[in-house]
Structure 1
Amino acid sequence: MRKIWLTWARLGVLVVLACAAAIWGGTAATRIYLAETAARGQTTLRLAVAALHGHMRRYEPLPSLIADHDDIRELARRPENPGLRAAANRYLKEINGLLESSDIYVMAPDGVTIAASNYDEPLSFVGENFSYRPYFQDAMKGERGRFFALGTTSLKRGYYYSAPIRDGEAIRGVVVFKVDVDVIELSWRGSDHVIIVTDPEGIVFLTGRDEWRYAGLEPLTPERLARTHASRRYADARLYPLPIESHGSEAGHALMTIGEANGEPREYLVLSEPMPEAGWTVKVLLDTASARAQAFTALVAIFLCLALAGMVAAVVLQRRARMAERMALQQEARETLERRVAERTRDLAAVNSRLETEVAERRATEQRLRQTQDDLIQAGKLAALGQMSAALSHEFNQPLAALRTYADNAAVLIDHDRIADARENVRRIAALTDRLASISRHLRNFARKPNQKLGPVDVREVVRDTLEIVAWRLRAAQAELVTDIGEGPLMVRGGAVRLQQVLVNLITNAADAVEGRPERTITLRASRQGGQVLISVSDPGPGVPDAIAGRIFDPFFTTKGVGKGLGLGLSISYNIIQDFGGNLLVANAPEGGAVFTIQLAALDLGASREAAE
């Protein structure tokens, strides 16, 4: 009897130990699977935050550049001038189309919109007052504003950047740049997780779940609603609390249970990362159902193993004498199997961790590469602006100095009654004035957006206008340009301004190639050969090595030093000539140096007149 009682006592202890082990094992399994889910979510969270940062930073400096534009600053000084308003509207519409942004508009100090890129659309911003927006208030304080909101006029969500329009120490208005964020939200749909972005009041405004948009993660107290309505961040959109049934944590992870439309609540593991510069919080919600199911499966497996162990233990207790050796062998085999399974599991977990780390590093490297390319393009734009400023200063200062000298001399000659000499000085002043007007006209024509339609173009006129543009660069390089284009007209089919852009780029590159060399003579030839017109630009520079000749027209490929070019000029020129139906070739001259040849279809004079009519 005592043995039976002792046997049942031992069985009871084993049952208690088995239950405790199962509970501990289930808790450990839950912790492990939640940790794996959180690791996947952290990768998704980092990628989402990086994508938001990259999309926002692309447009951040643009309002300041637009605010510094001469037409915009002049409009801020004279906002009632209809001509300035029309010019500003056209300029903003053109920039908005090039940058593929949502809207760009200019506001007066009282908050009234005086120019907008959508001036000719039914829902135009012109005349609307947005002084209640924080981005306007920040800009009027002299700061750069940032704000996310639902447009009160367009009812489209967007991120707003603003910059003040300065006139000396005074602020004459505000430039606002609106960026569409729908493209980011679309990329979040169709995944097994939910990404949401909340504002400082805890309201969801970006999410892959449409039914959660404008829902509050925090209670919508009167104070929160008052702050939101003051800025009209969401216009007339209905704000409502998200049906959160409970908050909690387990194994160090934040959990949230949300009611679903079908009545079945769903538990999510919540990962968060703030974006303080925008005032946002990015959250990734991962459904814990899979982790719970895996943990339950592990718990069942543990129970089965323990039940099997209990049965084996009962058999051992009943037949200890006969089965001791066999049970020892079974125990050893089981331990060996468990050890191998554990080792294999650890190996697989380590491999998975390394793969996730490598993927994250490669994605981060790709993001840094894209950011670096954007920075290089921006630096190239600023460098081009600096070169153009230097060119204008050099071209205009010498004639202006001569004008002042001739004017002073004319006054002295008049005082000495030398009227004929004074008249000669006045004639020279008029000639210099014509020279300044010619330079300004050519630069203005070169800066004007070209007409996309193709038509007859006289190569001689294009070459003449090109010489006006590149004269400053040739003088800077101490280079001489020799032209050989014959006597008669050379007509081709294309666009005059874009063909001029190609010639300016080829001659400027030639000037770069010969700068500092003993021989600095650049030759431009144009002639008709059969049904084609050939235009060539040759220089006595170092030429093009055979190793890079096949890549010289690729985007971002350049042989210049750091800071001297982005490698886009020849690529753009090649595409322009291709649009004309021609070809752009490069070769090395037998006597040395590079020769770039443009091949275009020739037009007869009569046919070109009919095309023009």
Structure 2
Amino acid sequence: MKLRYALAFAILPVVVVLAILQGGALLTRSYMDEASSQASSALRLAVAALAGHLSRYEPLPALIADHDDIEGLLQAPDSQSLRKVANEYLKEINSLLESSDIYVMTPDGNTVAASNYDLPGTFVGENFSYRPYFLDAIAGRPARFYALGTTSLKRGYYFSSPVEVAGKILGVIVFKVDIDSIESSWRGGEYKIFVADPEGIVFMTGSPEWLYNGILPLDAPRLARTQASRRYAEAELRPLPITESVYHGQHLMRIAGEGTTREYLRLSHYMPEADWTVNVLLDTASVRTQARTTLIAILLFICLAALGAAVLWQRRARVVERLRLQEEARNELEHRVEERTADLARVNEQIELEIAERRLTEQELRKTQADLIQAGKLAGLGQMSAALSHEFNQPLAAAKTYADSAAMLIDRGRVPEAQDNVRRISGLIDRMASISRHLRNFARKPNEKLGPVPLPEVIADTLEIIAPRLKAADAKLTVALEGDGLLVKAGPVRLQQVLVNIISNAADAVEGLADRRIVLSAGRVDAHVVIEVRDHGPGVPAAIAERIFDPFFTTKGVGKGLGLGLSISYNIVKDFGGNLSVVNHPEGGAVFRIMLESADAVQEAAE
């Protein structure tokens, strides 16, 4: 038994080490494959960007070669006027197409017109007969070529096309395209991208230190071919210190520099139309670090799992005790819940009783409020009783006089005049009946629902009731309505009571003053109708402005009011969903403002 334990402890470390090594290799291979897939996508994007950028300009040389100004210049290359026209045309086209340069060469390779004719380092007068793009084009074939400019010392891609007139090649037109914008987009990214020419020389890269370095051996034939075309002018060509290897089907490249060597995963794509090879490099340090991190995480997980199993094993003995304690706690909790439920049931019964009592109290309060409103109306009628008595007595006295006079006129045979007196008596009776009807309606207890109320009709009925009070105060009421179709959301009788109370207070305010004018105005403001009653009295003192709508608050003498009119009016307007307020007018007097919802706006919202 002891031997078995000893062998197990001896073999276990070996198994763990082998598992770590094998697992690390598998993880590294997996992450390498994933990184290769991602780098392949980046390579496709880089190739597509290069191909798309160059394809914009490929058909242009042949199109511009057919232009009359270009053909005319090559037919008479010594003509200064034709050169000027061609230069201006090429400059305009170059600016429009955002190319680097455009220029025209004669069959001997001399440049006779260029878009940069007016700039330092112009191509005009230069000879580029050694360039492959010129040799191919003068032979009748469109050509493409990448090189470092010998005059401008700027890198670019050249498109050339022969200028042919009547079957004869008179010259060559060349487009030079700047590719710095694409190269600048490669800098600072996750991937290192570079483009190599057929000789393996890096001529585009996001890493400037690799520019003009060779990834293939710079032997004599390669250097001779490069120098013959002067592709890189006088630039110094150096070999890039690299070593290549293959790891499970993935191409790896190690590049030495500044005392360190970095390993990259390399993917390449050959572009036959440009004779380029586009390369994408991904630093494998991050891939290997990720594999190591994952392996460490797995080992930690295994260790934690083992530790967790040990902890669970130790806690297993406590489970039964904990379950027992939980069962006791559950029983205790259920007992307390039952007690609490019984307490809550008793509280709910008490709350239901209180709610019933409050509802009963609310009903009593509403009834009392209705009685208080009716008492306010009757009190108002009582205050106007003297004026109303005069309104009834005067027509009665006049009717008596007209009746006596009619009898005398009949005795004298003056029947038409007697008939006129009878008609006057009938008119007086109609007037008293109208006053009586309005007073009966006003004194009636309202049991009405809110609805559309024509404001002009309510104001007309109010004037019938309030007329005696205005006459007694010798006050003049002016009514100003904006339109005749004002509809408000209210109850007609209670709204009439509000207007009677406010106009009566206005009559009290101006009674005995020199200016006894009262103005009642109404108009629409947005979705509301605003009614204003302005008097020319002393106004509302600031000290009582906040208390003027309180019940039983009055500034009148004893026996002249209960102090309920404005309080009742305020509550009635609130029931309508409106607002009643009072302010002092800048020119003197008080302004009571009633704001009610417009019945038209309410109906439109409902629709």
TM (norm. structure 2) is 0.49
